[in-house]
Amino acid sequence: MKTLLYLLPALSILLWTSCVPKETGPGGNYKNVPYDPGRWLVDVEDVFDGGPGKDGIPALVNPPAVVVDSIDFLKNSDMVIGFRVDNEYIAYPQAILDWHEIINDQLGNAEYAVVYCPLTGTTAIWNRVLNGETTTFGVSGLLYQNNIIPYDRASNSNWSQMLQQCINGPLIEYIPETLPFIECSWETWKKMYPDSKVTGRNTGITRPYGNYPYGDYKVNDKVYFPLEIENTAYERKERIHAVLNGRRMMIFDPKVYSDSLRLFVNEYEGSDYLTLIAPRKQIFSSYVLNESQKSLQFEALNDVLPLAFKDNEGNKWDVFGRAVEGPRQGEQLEFANQMTGYWFALSSFYLVTKKVR
């Protein structure tokens, strides 16, 4: 098997502009490439060297958090990743993650890694406790289907963010515990949680935070690496929300998106889901309904975020799926296995088996 590794020199540490193909022999003669040529769960021909090298994009570990009012480098339209533990909230700006891709952090008793891929527009938050050992994740410099391959520093195993699984190394086939989060615009987050914490610019590493490192990548139709599979049902960079089940997914057609907050209840492969979509605020979130919750009739609440919906029992629920008022106060909806990202990426990893129009 011949493996094509594409080296993309950086113009500014992360701005990749050209591809220089390099061939290796059968089984992989991976000189200067920081991964084990042993068993992989994916076709190694689709694994590419992004250029900066292992840890060339520096992941952060416990960066200082600041108050919302001290943030001066984010535009209202910039995206943040919101995380909650009990009654503590923190936001991770994509403007920081564009330059680091991974933030290892701790909030309350949760030790986790925020893993963001700017090339696929996807986010995951993983528990950093693997097999009883707390570790941190770093950026391997490799990509699979244009998507980040993190590695964990305890075992040096390689992981697929979008497959949410270890794909190479001692922990191969291990599935990390995923932790729930929401994505939204900075304007939305600071209105919802003005007392929350935020990762600020004082990361200990000098980067021009607030300046997007990939030019017009978000709005053009280009990808940096070859696509093994391409589904042309939507534009490549259309942002799509999907509920995942194995290698299959239920997607929400952009035609259902509107400025107002909308709710959808759907049965998919044996489970019932409630999905919250508010594109103007960049919120897409799905929850699994248990037997008791299936009987509820939900109704969207507009312009009162973080309250997002109510039900016929008189309960009011927030964007994290928690009942904050009513007889079920304190009850938590289970977050679905879900992902929101660029269409070309989702359709490279998952097969559409249901579409909500």
Cis check for the bond before 170: say yes or no (omega within 30 of 0): no
- The tens digit of pLDDT for each residue in 118-177 reads 999 999 999 999 999 999 999 999 999 999 999 999 999 999 999 999 999 999 999 999
Joined together, the tokens standing for residue 263 give 């709710």
pTM of the shown model: 0.90
Cβ atoms of 63 and 78 within 8 Å: the answer is no
CA-angle at 310, arms to 261 and 254, nearest 5°: 25
Per-residue DSSP letter, 40: B
Distance CA 271, CA 227 (A): 31
CA-angle at 357, arms to 347 and 178, nearest 5°: 50
- The tens digit of pLDDT for each residue in 199-210 reads 999 999 999 999
pLDDT band at 276 (very low <50, low <70, confident <90, very high): very high
- 14 or 81: which carries more pLDDT confidence? 81
Domain boundary assignment for the chain: 1-228, 239-356
Per-residue DSSP letter, 234: S
Quick one: three-class SS letters along 262-324?
A: EEEEEEECCEEEEEEEEHHHCEEEEEEECCCHHHCCEEECCCCCCEEEEECCCCEEECCCEEE
Task: Find the mean pLDDT for residues 219-245.
Answer: 95
In this prediction, residue 153 carries a pLDDT of: 97
Distance CA 42, CA 108 (A): 35
Helices and strands per DSSP (H, E), number in the chain:
3, 30
As a residue count, the chain comes to 357
Q: Look up tokens 């080296």; give the residue.
A: 7
Cβ atoms of 91 and 100 within 8 Å: the answer is no
